[in-house]
A and B are shown apart, each in its own frame.
Chain A
């Protein structure tokens, strides 16, 4: 059933995830199905941004969701929202995967990756998320070039800060601080509180 929408205020984008995770922890399949619906779009998009390969991205997305199922009882609301918890898991796994893929110096695999660069026009415009999404874009636009490059290379491409430094030809310490002050500026622009 749809939540009523109040004029002048965005409707809640998701069911109360935290509550749902509590139910999932007790083995509730229906609650898990709703968690899936709420998180799978951003999780898959994030994993795919990092990995690029559609098949691998779906595989890792499945792993993330299975981890949510398995470890729901360990989620600690005091540490952050359920969405943040799940997206952190997703980023972590995507980064691990992309780094191990790089380690395997398999030409074939690389060629395959190259051949399957995702079509970004597959990215959706989910109506309820679009306002927030626009805000994120706007706030990213408010970063300095180096902040934005550092943050996006680390987040969307899964690069270690040493790799970011090498790529942008700036000192390691500079990247560390740009990652921090870039995220701090984003936090303030988005009004994130925990």
Chain B
């Protein structure tokens, strides 16, 4: 090969090689080596850039689809429904409306029917189908706010049925499309932000299905998970790193923890089912059980992250503290833990994010039931965001498609908020050396 850098120097005598000839940095071989090096640098930069661009494109595609599909979930269509109360002749006493039993009195007087009748008289035979199932509840609230409307003709904006909503926002069957067009032409359709999506719970009717129940279920479950997994995980990490003797038993524990972190989540669900529900008879579908199960799942993650963060604290800091007479507990809590905290928090949040998105183990402990109201406490039946998404995505009624996407948006916002918190905490506690 002619591309050797150093020209071959003949060995002049048997004992010592001749002087090396001075290196010529300008030879052809040298130049082509430089070109190759630059090309390799460029290639690598392009590859890296390509990888980043590709993942960014996936992310944009994912988020874009979600946003486009899910935006409709945050909007609802309302129909202006003319109600001629004197003609509908509801049989309610005015005094009753001021009292507690107002809801019952109005229901007993057949308000739901009356609203249906009004819809038929306003929009024709199909009229009742144009209204959401719970449209009469809006009318009920209006009456309770101002009972005097019972003596008049009024127009109240009530939620449109899922089919009208879809027809107004999207494509639907021709018949309903035509109905929506007619209503729209008459100026009866309006659109507004669907607050009930953020405040309501699951429902069989997509127009009234809301995310709050699942969101609250997730919050409660996460609270239980954090309250258990964080202290136990951090204490275990500290004990294993700072106190435990290094012997076969601690090696065994270390291996077990590493394996636990890799166990598929559904196994933890089975464990939760067997132990918390089976042995301890805890309530089914409850956030407390979900939280316990997820805490088991993410504890190993926190222990591992915590141990790594603690290990990364320079030993010289421990020596320094011990050298002025700090006890071991003081060394840990005054010096090691503050320095390890950013790493511990990052690990915790990664674990929590994993727990937040977890579905399988929660299905095992019964959190897949239809829950029509937000959980009141840790023991009441609840569902969580990912399970709600799973349930809605399984619904045949097309109105749930956009609800599913909307719920995914809520979940992603939750996740982003958690990651933002992680970054904030990291910077807040980062020690500058």
- Tell me if chain B binds chain A: no
